[in-house]
Amino acid sequence: MSVEQGDAAPAFSMPASSGRTVSLASMKGRPFVLYFYPKANTSGCTKEACAFQEALPALGKLGIEVIGVSPDKMPPIEKFAAKYELTFPLASDESHAVADKYGTWVEKSMYGRKYMGMERSTFLIDKAGKIARVWRKVSVAGHAAEVMEAAQTLKR
């Protein structure tokens, strides 16, 4: 399954850093960024998380929150959040049930070996709970700025 721009955001509820729980229901009426990343504490994921952390004040002015999602268990996520002082919630989707709903749990290939893994993807979800923008196979450089640009066009 895969969601596209204009679709209703699939429901989710996941444990997140700092003892939080994130869910679509709790975000009702508020726009937010839901981004999926492969693994905490790897170079690309660290750059992406830090870029979103830097963008938080500006996104906050637009009323937009950020939620990061990976298939990691909570302990590595907590370490990652603490190490880089990430204040937005990082959620654990260990069973990749949420990634399946969003179409981000995909077949990947490295050195000829095929395996299932998280595709780096971002979804901008409007206050009505609809997918306003989708980025798949995200390239980390400049991505947070792209998301910020798109976020400014959302109706408040």
Active site residues: 45
Question: At 55, phi and psi to the nearest 5?
Answer: -80, -10
- A 10 A CB-CB count for 50 gives 15
Q: Give the phi and the psi of residue 144 in degrees, each rounded to 5.
A: -60, -35
Q: Using an 8 Å Cβ cutoff, are 102 and 120 in contact?
A: no
Q: How far is CA 83 from CA 41, 92, 156, in A?
A: 9, 17, 34
